[in-house]
Every structure is written in C-alpha cells, then in structure tokens.
Structure 1
Amino acid sequence: MKRTAEITLGIIGAVFYVFSIAFGALRLWMENNKGYLQDYMYNNQDEFQLTNSDIDMLQEFFNLNLATGGPLLIILPILAIILGIVALVLLKGNKSPVAAGIIFIATGVLYVIITAGGGILSGILYLIAGILCLTRKPKPTIIQE
C-alpha cells in the first residue's frame, strides 16, 4: 500500500517546524538584545505608531521567561523534526505504519500542548498523518490456487 498522503503530510509538517525554529531563533535574539530593541522602538516610535505603553508592554513580554522562551522554541521543533523523520523511515516501504502513526500523533499533540498552541498547524498535520497511518489498512490479497 502506498503511503503517499502520510509521507506528504509528515514532510509538510516538518517544514512548518523549521519555521518554528526560525521564530525561536528570532525570539532568542530579541531576548538577548533588549537594549538594541528598545532603542530601535523608541527611535521609530512615530513610524510604527507605538505609544509608550505599547513599548512597555513589548518589554514586559520579552522580560517574561516563560516555557515558550527562545531556547525551548528551538529545541522542541528540532525534536519534532527528528521524530517525524523516524516516523517517515518507519512508513517507507510500509514497514511499521502503526508505530509511525503513534509517533506522529504523540509528537503533534505534545508539541501543541507544551507550546500552548504555538505550533498548531504543524501539530495538526502530524496528527492527520498519524490518524491516516493508524486507520488505513492494506487491502487483503486473494490467493488463487
């Protein structure tokens, strides 16, 4: 049985996780360069139509050290991509689609929960790929004697 849909969804989900890595790197850079960011916002306050309260709110956002901080937004997508590759290898040649489905579902759901909905699109793609892996059964072959 061909597993084209599952493989395609897994690859697209992994690509979206790459975007999460880029966002995490940007967030980490912003956390480490607060002074530059603050100067930039105050110097371009009129251009971006920011009030002082908007700038203070942005500073508070980057002062918070939540679970969705930059390092976590880099490490978790890398783990999700690695697990997705493992699931794709298990799908290749229809070796173990049940194990691949469980990996896809667990990765997609846990990532969305841990990041509080941060990677919902990639999580949904992994979830759909996992459900397809578990529900699609090969057609029985009829042996003629």
Structure 2
Amino acid sequence: MKRTGEIILGIIGALFYGILAFIGGAAMWLRNNPDLVQQALDESPEDLGISANELIDTMGTGGTFLLVSSIIAIVLGIVAMVLLKGNKNPKVAGIIFIATSIIFAIITFGGGIFAGILYLIAGIMCLVRKPKTIIEE
C-alpha cells in the first residue's frame, strides 16, 4: 500500500515547521544586533511601553525556544516519514505524527498549529488506512 498522502502531508508540515524555525532564527539574529532593534524602536511612532533591552531578551528567549522546538518537530516528522517509506511501520509513524502535532502545537502556544494540523491528519491517516484484503475463491 502506498503512503503517498501521509508523506506529502508530513513534508508540507515539516516545511511549516521550517518557517517557524526561520522566524526563531531571525529573532535570535535580532538579539545579536541590539542597535538595529534600538533604531527600530526609536523610529516607531508609537511608544510600546517596553525598553529595547527587554524586547531583545524576550525575542532572544522566544527565538531560541521556537528554533529548537521546530527543529525537533522536523526531525520527528522525518523519522515518521522514514517509517512510512515502504509501509514498514505505519502505526508507529502515526503515533509519532499525532504526538508531535499535539505537543508542539501546545508548547508553541498555537504558533505551530498549521503544521500540527497537517501532522495530525497524516497521523490519523496512518492509523486508520488498512491494506486491501484480497479474497481468494
């Protein structure tokens, strides 16, 4: 049985997690460039009520967390897709997809919800699709 649908959903989900990893990396880059953040705050017409140092610390911490969690989710998705290749262990792959989607949608506070939905659909498909049985007479 081919598992093309699950693999494609896994790849698209991994790409969404890759976008989150890029955002996390950009936040970490901004933490290392405080002058750029200070300049952006100085040019802003509104007072955000936060100092540049507080904003840099928050962005750096959130960026690190987002980058690391997204990379872990991508790796788990790749592991699940490898398990799907050749229809080796679809049940295990489905459990990995579902667990990854739920855990990372929660710990990213909904930031990974779109990728999580794709992983969740792929995981459900892995668990419910059964191979066709051939009835011999």
Normalising by structure 2, we get a TM-score of: 0.88
Is the counterpart of residue 128 in structure 1 residue 121 in structure 2? yes
Q: Who is 2:58 aligned against?
A: 64
> Which of 98, 102, 111 is 2:104 aligned to?
111
Query: How far 1:17 sits from its partner (Å)?
Result: 1.0
What is the letter of the counterpart of residue 130 of structure 2?
K
Secondary structure of the 1:64 match is helix
> CA 1:111 to 1:58, structure 2 compared with 1: closer, same or farther past 3 Å?
farther
CA distance in 2, matches of 1:81, 1:22: 12
Q: Give percent identity, aligned residues only.
A: 52
Query: Could you report, residue by residue, the CA deviation over 1:74-108 in whole angstroms, capped at 9, with x for unpaired residues?
Result: 11111111111111111111111000000000111
What is the letter of the counterpart of residue 87 of structure 2?
N
Q: CA RMSD in A?
A: 2.0
CA distance in 2, matches of 1:37, 1:83: 34
What is the letter of the counterpart of residue 58 of structure 2?
L
> CA 1:79 to 1:25, structure 2 compared with 1: closer, same or farther past 3 Å?
same
Structure 1 unmatched runs, 5+: none
> CA 1:82 to 1:115, structure 2 compared with 1: closer, same or farther past 3 Å?
same
CA distance in 2, matches of 1:142, 1:31: 63
Structure 2 unmatched runs, 5+: none
Query: How far 1:57 sits from its partner (Å)?
Result: 4.0
Deviates more, 1:29-38 or 1:94-103: 29-38
* Count of residues in correspondence between the two structures: 136
Higher-Rg member (1/2): 1
CA distance in 2, matches of 1:57, 1:102: 42
Q: Who is 2:28 aligned against?
A: 28
